Structure 1
Amino acid sequence: GASATLNGAAVLALTKDKDVGFVSQDHVLTAKFDPAQGAGTLTTPGLVGIGVPDAWTQYGAIGRGIGVAVIDSGIAPSLDLAGRIVASVDFTTGAPGEPLVAPADPGGHGTHVAGLIGGDGTASAGAYTGVAPGANLVDVRVIGAGGATTVSTLLRGMQWVLANKATYNIRVANMSLGAAATLSYRNDPLATAAEVLTFAGIAVVVSAGNSGPGETTVTTPGYDPFVITVGALDDNGTPALDDDSLASWSSRGPTALDGIAKPDLVAPGRKMVSLRSPGSTLDQMYPDRQVAGTDLLAPAYFRMSGTSMAAPVVAGTIALMLERNPSLRPAQLKHRLMGTATPLAFGSPNTTGNGLLNVSAAVGSADSASFVPTNPVSDGFATEMYALLVGQAIAWRDPSYNGGVDSNGVLWSDITWDTIAWNEITWENLSWDAFNWAGITWEEVTWEEITWETTSQNVNILGGARGWVLVN
């Protein structure tokens, strides 16, 4: 036999050649993840224990067509993600927001996160498959190779996600990152941006942080009441639940300045095997963390620990839920995740939240109720958005101010926002340039979600507040 690229006339000539038995089109073939087969090959203990294979086989959901934005350090090409990295943009360069010619991950963190969300296990014969192997990945690079960024860079990346929501059907945003909470969430720019995405219909999943075991250590934007905040469980290397424990470094609530119970739930996050970014900063620093797939000479995987690894497990679960029911809003998704979580014998609302993620129960939940936080929206969101939506600045009358308009001494908790239906507002045309962030000091964001099984706890390997933070 032979193959060739031919025009119509040449094909016709071949059909008349007595030495040619038949002519057949050279079809393009694509690998398709089989839920039933995949359920039998997945070996990651934590994912097996929380019911990922059960969700695949019972409901056939693998996240088909759901866009998940990975707001991180980039996503390196991989066989496990072939054809499903639908967009890549970079906000860490001199021309922020430029589309990348080819996906890349100089840091090595974002690729690992992406694999936990949607890797299909091609390079490991299914052993290291992610939660939603049919989901599309949207690569939003906001963190450099050294593991640090600024709040303003993150805001630009989040704005891009909002503006491109419809183009890539972005329904989930994973943020495995955090900064120390120095303000109330009501005044925090990252919390405000996370709320904007949430009210626009994008479920925002955030890692709790790796500053445990102390209390009040949940980072921003994970301390916002509207996002889905995830702590890390140590599965002890087995799918059984009776030997599980809360990872010692997983951040605890309540939130430092607002007293909100966090995290919302926990998911496996210790010694998780996912995709490797060859030649990245982490890959070069810790070659002993490389894990081989089917090709023993070119390891395709990497081992990491942290709430950064727990968050994408939840993000992938949401992709499965949305494939089954695309009409679910972020509040409904959060309600289902928390309502179906497996209660744990250890922990509390400020350490393990509602319990351990139960993937099969969450995907199978028929509960349509919404989770409604009792906390108000952030002041930054309320003050700036009101003028954009209503056309005039917030004004109220205080009898003690001679009947005039006064904004002094009035608490936001006293204001009722019932007349504004946030979920019915279209946010696609929103520009962060319309926000007034005067007086905000842009703090450096440390990639404190990166953790390793090292003998030295809380060691910043790159120095200062800008680098990788390692914990046991």
Structure 2
Amino acid sequence: MRNGDQRRGVRASALWGSGKRGGDSRSNALWGSGKRRTALLATLALVVLVPLGASASPSKADGPTAFVTPSLLSSAQSNATGAFNVIVQGKGGNQAAKAIADVLGADKKAYKAFRSIDGVAVQLSGAQLLALASDRHITAITPDARVRLSAASASVDSKEKWPYVTGVDKYNGAPAATIAIIDSGIDATRPEFAGRILANVNLSTLPGNSPGDGRGHGTFVAGIAAGKLAGKDGAAPTAKLVSIDVMDDQGMARTSDVIAAADWILANKAQYGIKVANFSLHSSVANSFMYDPLDKAVEKLWFNGVVVVAASGNYGYADRPSGVPYAPGNDPFVITVGASDTGKSVSTNDDTSAPWSAWGYTLDGFAKPDVSAPGRYMVGPVPVTATLYSERPDHIVDTGYMELSGTSFAAPIVSGIAALILGSNPTLTPDQVKGALLLGAKPLPRAADMSEGAGEVNAGKSIQLKNPPAANKALNKFLVSDPVSGSLVFDAASWASAAKTDASWASASWSDASWSSASWASASWASASWASASWASASWDSSASASASWSDLSLASASWADNAEGETADVDGGAIDPLELDAVLNGTLDP
């Protein structure tokens, strides 16, 4: 339950911490209060020092100098001739490709270089991997790991609750920015998307990937984000879509293929007007955002004007935090979305966290998710030829429609609202869109502290904010220009040094974050009763990676996406009561 006094004038947020509005006394934007310094230093020591210690032996002058995922390093050391599919990252200026060329020769077909990061996907022997780990131009070597999918389309005559709970029903015809769906593809033959799919790109390198959407997950996600069909509209039914297929028919992808999707968006965002990118997926390897190549790729999108929305994952617990250790949802810049359960009524008063929705701290100590959206008992379109459709016949509610659950299906609601925000105010930056979503969100009193981030999204309040603050202001001080490309990159080393020195970031300028000028009245802060996030009493130990069993969360051994998608069907679980629907449409009930 959300504990603490109900105090007007106090804002609690997974991103901003707690503190008085508009003043410099606000707790740190990303860490909560300064009281957490001891625990934070322990987290930094674990995340920053242990991996480096594991990948670099100070007793050996020729030991690795780059970060290497510990399990990967151990395997390479014990198997010099073994083959390892990895992503090698350089220090900028295409240094990764140059280092790989030195090892493999001039055959560029042997590796795949990226645009969004200074990185290369390549297969190396154990000996080659260890040699590159000692190259001073290389910063990190991580597995090219598998990525798994993390599952309502409705308009004003819909029987589903979520459009009314989130307020998108009032913006059915509003302008919206283009959304890229990075997933298993979109079935372009569906009437929900007629004439609005601008591009359909297949970047999957795995075998067993059917044309269109062989899994069905991407079509469902797209339907929630921007489907348009009488009675089955998505969050932003006027938005155009770009489909980027990175998944095979079993819902699997390589990390390198997802990074390639980020590359494609960077190269084509101007042509197609892409302003929002939805990632209803996550990596299978827990990592610090400072080293994970997928995190770096989505950050590149963010710094280049694309709002990135990511699902938190479906490996959560009903009674305690799970942590959020997987990219891209672990990245502090992007908008990470948890799933809420809309309860029995259209009112948000009985809403709470979905029991499997992941929440807690990342390996770097950031609280996630940022916001939540309905994600339980969702109804959406799925091709009848898709594997998801044949595997779950008990979840079919009508021909070509299924009821599914998951953070995968909460994220596209937020992507749709982000597209509506940009349709109304196209000059906003990704940081400001994130700020608008956080300011507009409504805390859920029945949910555990932090499990819903700032709260459940509210389209109306977020869209109405004309000059929302930049939510990532405290982190932006660590952005620097790449000396070769000139583009913005995150200086992880400087951030880590600052965080270890002063975990509360006392020098962060909250006045610069425009708190004092934020339009609190328009966000209805005066009438909202914000509960304290109880930072001082929150249990860091329960979410620290020292005590959490990250191996238990590995997607190599469990399909967390399918756990939520396979939840027992409840045909009426997301349906709105007919009397409540009449009241909403008549304007006598405001959720």
| 2:179 is the counterpart of 1:68 | yes
| Structure 2 Cα separation of the partners of residues 194 and 449 of structure 1 | 21
Displacement of 1:312 in angstroms is 0.1
Q: After superposition, where does 1:320-335 map in structure 2 within 5 Å?
A: 320-335=420-435
The residue that corresponds to 1:48 in the other structure is 164
* Structure 2 gap segments, 5+ residues each: 1-153, 500-504, 509-553, 570-591
Maintained 8 Å contact 2:275/2:305:
yes
**Which of the residues 455, 463, 470 maps onto 1:355?**
455
| Structure 2 Cα separation of the partners of residues 387 and 155 of structure 1 | 22
Displacement of 1:361 in angstroms is 1.2
| Structure 1 Cα separation of the partners of residues 495 and 265 of structure 2 | 32
Partner SS state of residue 565, structure 2: coil
Bigger-Rg structure (1/2): 1
The residue that corresponds to 1:372 in the other structure is 472
| Structure 1 Cα separation of the partners of residues 378 and 286 of structure 2 | 30
**Which of the residues 198, 214, 217 maps onto 1:106?**
214
Displacement of 1:206 in angstroms is 0.2
Partner SS state of residue 43, structure 1: coil
| Structure 2 Cα separation of the partners of residues 139 and 411 of structure 1 | 35
**Aligned-partner residue type, residue 46 of structure 1:** W
The residue that corresponds to 2:482 in the other structure is 386
The residue that corresponds to 2:370 in the other structure is 264
Maintained 8 Å contact 1:44/1:127:
no
Displacement of 1:91 in angstroms is 1.1
Identity of aligned residues (%): 36
Displacement of 1:168 in angstroms is 0.6
| Structure 2 Cα separation of the partners of residues 209 and 324 of structure 1 | 30
**Aligned-partner residue type, residue 61 of structure 1:** A
Write the deviation string for residues 265-295 of structure 1: whole angstroms up to 9, x where unpaired: 1000001111111211101111222222xxx
Maintained 8 Å contact 1:55/1:363:
no
**Cα distance change, pair 447–80 in 1 and its aligned pair in 2 (3 A):** farther
**Aligned-partner residue type, residue 465 of structure 2:** S
Write the deviation string for residues 322-343 of structure 1: whole angstroms up to 9, x where unpaired: 1111111100000000011012
* Structure 1 gap segments, 5+ residues each: 1-37, 293-298, 396-408, 419-442, 457-472
Q: After superposition, where does 1:233-248 map in structure 2 within 5 Å?
A: 233-236=340-343, 238-248=345-355
The residue that corresponds to 1:284 in the other structure is 390
Displacement of 1:253 in angstroms is 1.1
Displacement of 1:386 in angstroms is 2.2
Maintained 8 Å contact 1:70/1:137:
yes
Displacement of 1:411 in angstroms is 7.4
| 2:262 is the counterpart of 1:158 | yes
**Cα distance change, pair 314–390 in 1 and its aligned pair in 2 (3 A):** closer
Q: Which has the higher contact order (CA 8 A, sep 6+)?
A: 2
The residue that corresponds to 1:449 in the other structure is 561
The residue that corresponds to 2:223 in the other structure is 115
| 2:350 is the counterpart of 1:250 | no
| 2:238 is the counterpart of 1:134 | yes
Displacement of 1:172 in angstroms is 0.2
| Higher strand fraction (1 or 2) | 2
The residue that corresponds to 1:426 in the other structure is none
Number of residue pairs matched by the alignment: 356
**Which of the residues 180, 191, 197 maps onto 1:85?**
197
| Structure 1 Cα separation of the partners of residues 494 and 237 of structure 2 | 50
The residue that corresponds to 2:328 in the other structure is 221
**Aligned-partner residue type, residue 389 of structure 1:** S
| TM-score calculated relative to the size of structure 1 | 0.69
RMSD: 3.2
Displacement of 1:448 in angstroms is 3.6
| Structure 1 Cα separation of the partners of residues 205 and 397 of structure 2 | 31
